Amino acid sequence: MAPHTGLVNTGLIDTEPAVRVRDLDRRFGERSVLSGLNLTIGRGEFVALLGQSGSGKSTLLRALAGLDHDVTGEGGIEVPGKLSVVFQDARLLPWLRVLDNVVLGLRDARAHGTRALAEVGLAGREKAWPNELSGGEQQRVALARSLVREPELLLADEPFGALDALTRAKMHVLLRNLCEAHHPAVLLVTHDVDEAITLADRILVLHKGHVAVEQTVDADITPARRAEIRARLLTALDGDTA
């Protein structure tokens, strides 16, 4: 997906990136998890973040979401627009019906919420309780809840990690379609190299606290090029940045 430049529905300056992080550090006691990390995500750009377990992906996402006040760094974190976060589990409130979960905290948003549910394929399920939905359907509700807030930045922490392969593949198609309709910038944390190549415009590999490898992905990627990128990313995940 090409980075989108003509955003409507936002007060942001078009040339401003969705995220800019400069020289970010995060320590837990003696342990340095993020160190001198730099990152810029353009408006409407879809970026996937790979890294070994424990490399700091969720730590970075939490920092970008403003959920971690103990990060340090010279330039800090700039997220000029609205952001939404989607986690591995949908985190729906079980005592609220689906539509009420989607519009929670928003005023006069029921029509908008109903439209968002239709967009994620859940028309007619507005009055269902979360526990009446499958895991994939609950994740769709979580996406609708994000959409209805019209974020310029969507942070997604392994949103499809708990889903079976077929449901995950369907969610890939859905997410791409939603991005083409709404143009948020996305930072998707994933363990899945193929998911990253399928979805992202650009893939980053986090290693030793910073972005060690960056790989752009063409929209019309050939199978041979895909295999080449896959090999490079797998090597990078092992810590070799050749």
Q: Give the binding site for ligand ATP (CB under 6 A).
A: 28, 33, 51, 53-59
Closest CB to ligand ATP among residues 34, 79: 34
To ligand ATP, the closest distance from the beta carbon of 46 in angstroms equals 19
Q: Please answer whether residues 37 and 23 qualify as being in contact, where contact means their C-beta atoms are separated by less than 8 angstroms.
A: yes
Pairing of strands 202-207, 210-216: antiparallel
Q: Please answer whether residues 129 and 120 qualify as being in contact, where contact means their C-beta atoms are separated by less than 8 angstroms.
A: no
To ligand ATP, the closest distance from the beta carbon of 96 in angstroms equals 28
Separation CA 168–CA 166 (nearest Å)? 5
To ligand ATP, the closest distance from the beta carbon of 117 in angstroms equals 29
With a CB cutoff of 8 Å and minimum separation 6, the contacts of 21 are 37, 38, 39, 40, 63, 64, 73, 75, 76, 77, 78
Closest CB to ligand ATP among residues 50, 144: 50
Among candidates 200, 230, 232, which has minimal Cα distance to 217? 200
Among candidates 84, 134, 75, 127, which has minimal Cα distance to 105? 84
Closest CB to ligand ATP among residues 37, 92: 37
To ligand ATP, the closest distance from the beta carbon of 158 in angstroms equals 7
Token couple for 125: 């399920």
Closest CB to ligand ATP among residues 181, 234: 234
Closest CB to ligand ATP among residues 117, 236: 236
To ligand ATP, the closest distance from the beta carbon of 26 in angstroms equals 8
